[in-house]
Amino acid sequence: MDLESLKETNVERYTRYKTLIGKFVEKFNEDPQFVSRAPGRVNLIGEHIDYCGYSVLPMALTQDLSLAVRTNSSTVLRVSNINSAFSDYIGDTTTFTINSDKPAWFNYILCGIKGIIESSNISNLPGMDIMVDGSVPQAAGLSSSSALVCAAGLATAHACNCSLTRLELADICMRCEHYIGTQGGGMDQSISFLAQQGMAKLISFNPLRSDNVVLPDGAVFVVTNSCVTMKKADTAHFNTRVTECKVAAQMLASWKSLDRSQVKTLGDVHEMLGVDLDSMVKMVEDLMHDHPYNVGEVGQQLGMSGEEVKEKLLFKNTSQVDSFKLKQRATHVFSEARRVFKFKEVCSETTNPLVKLGELMNESHDSCSRLYEASCKELDQLTELCRKHGALGSRFTGAGWGGCAVSLVPSDKLNSFIGSLRTSYYANMNDDEFAKAVFFTAPGGGAGVYLQL
């Protein structure tokens, strides 16, 4: 699509891109050749289960990360952000390295570039000048970092004329984000590429695929920011949960005498046993004890020394973890996976689906908070308030430990819902801040490139 045609279809985006292009010219003294964009997302249900192999149900936001790009005749890579709080980066497309110890914002761009270089075997990537504009709230659980990886991957693919399908791009970007150190699943990158305007998606893995989910009429999904920021690459919380799920999968495989070398995720165990999710929940209840497992106990069951457990099952930033709440984490994963399928089913029911959807969202939050311990007191308080002010369901969305909640609000209660939140959780904010912290959005479209003609 060319940029000018945006004037007809999306004037707001067109105006924003004109400003972005103006900043690009100011910085690099030339016009960009194209703009690549990738949206953030709000996950409606299915939290912390994508990396266990289970389907999730997000929708894309209209907010995105957009990159104005021009290739240059050298191999110099220059990255700048229209928001001056983000420092410039200068590197080289043939020698850059990604810092996963304390990743600065532009490392996500480097991940996207590296993903395409490696997957398409590119040996002569040209230099690029890049100006970035993001409208996804940051560190808010709405996947601004993955959107940056995706927009950069897409830009690189476009600059090198690589013809990749959306599925391939999603797959590449979900893998290359691991260079940053966090071991996320593929939800964020997949919805960013596979989204379609007006549709939520059931995203499934191995192999990656997506199914449309039409959300029922009569209610709106409202996103509310708890204003507790959480950058998942800055703490070990996220990888600790991934580790616990990996260990739980190995332990279950061992108890059930499965070939452990074939088991990476809880989903693998489930598939190899060929039973339903109810049976998996029951199995965890029967086999696992409530109190945490330690490295010694895990090693004993798996026939490994403590050192081997650390080497084979832990990540760089979780190597010190010695307490695994296996029962709680596995129960969350299997029951949340069940809720996702139920949610999709209920979406196509004609008789009063909204109340049931709300219940599933509430159960999801409770499980994420109590069993998975991925919430925080502000998110618990905010979701509680949302329910009190009229939401049928409310849950945190994304990685958690801060960030946003998503609530299902009947359309006829929307105004009073927003009004009550304004004077309760957000009483100390001014109107501008409030408009950024609380918003609703219809499902947006997926990543794309606009040519500057």
Chain residues that interact with ligand GLA, rule: CB under 6 A = 43, 47-48, 50-51, 143, 146, 184-185, 187-188, 398-399
Q: How far is Cα 391 from Cα 214, in angstroms, rounded to an integer?
A: 20
* Residue 27 near residue 440, CB atoms below 8 Å: no
| Catalytic member of 50, 64, 171, 188 | 188
Nearer to ligand GLA, 69 or 148 (CB): 148
Give the count of beta carbons closer than 10 Å to the beta carbon of residue 323.
11
Query: In this structure, are residues 450 and 3 in contact, taking their beta carbons and an 8 Å threshold?
Result: yes
For residue 287 the two structure tokens come to: 């086999």
Which CB atom, from 170 or from 385, has the smaller least distance to ligand GLA? 170
Q: DSSP string of 287-305?
A: H--SSPB-HHHHHHHHT--
Least separation in angstroms between CB 156 and ligand GLA: 20
Residue (of 213, 140, 83, 59) closest to 402 by Cα position: 140
Q: State the CB neighbour count (10 A cutoff) for residue 23.
A: 18
Measure the CA–CA gap between 197 and 324, rounded to whole angstroms: 41
In terms of CB distance, is 398 or 444 closer to ligand GLA?
A: 398
Supply the minimum distance, in Å, between the C-beta of residue 96 and ligand GLA. 23
Taking the least distance from each CB to ligand GLA, the nearer of 185 and 390 is 185
CA atoms within 13 A on the CB side of 314: 22
**Nearer residue to ligand GLA within complex by CB, 143 or 375:** 143
Q: How far is the CB of 146 from ligand GLA (least distance, A)?
A: 6
Q: Is 188 a catalytic residue?
A: yes
**DSSP, residue by residue, 411-422:** GGGHHHHHHHHH
Cα–Cα distance for residue pair 358/362, rounded to 1 Å: 6
User: Nearest approach, Cβ of 330 to ligand GLA (angstroms)?
Assistant: 16
| Residue number, nearest CB to ligand GLA | 184
> Whole-number minimum distance, CB 301 to ligand GLA, in Å?
26
Q: Which amino acid is at 179?
A: Y
Minimum distance from residue 50 beta carbon to ligand GLA (Å): 5
- State which residue, 228 or 295, has the beta carbon closest to ligand GLA: 228
Helix pair 237-255, 295-302: axis angle to 10 deg:
30
Neighbouring residues of 344: CB distance < 8 A, sequence distance ≥ 6: 57, 202, 211, 213
Q: Which residues are catalytic?
A: 188
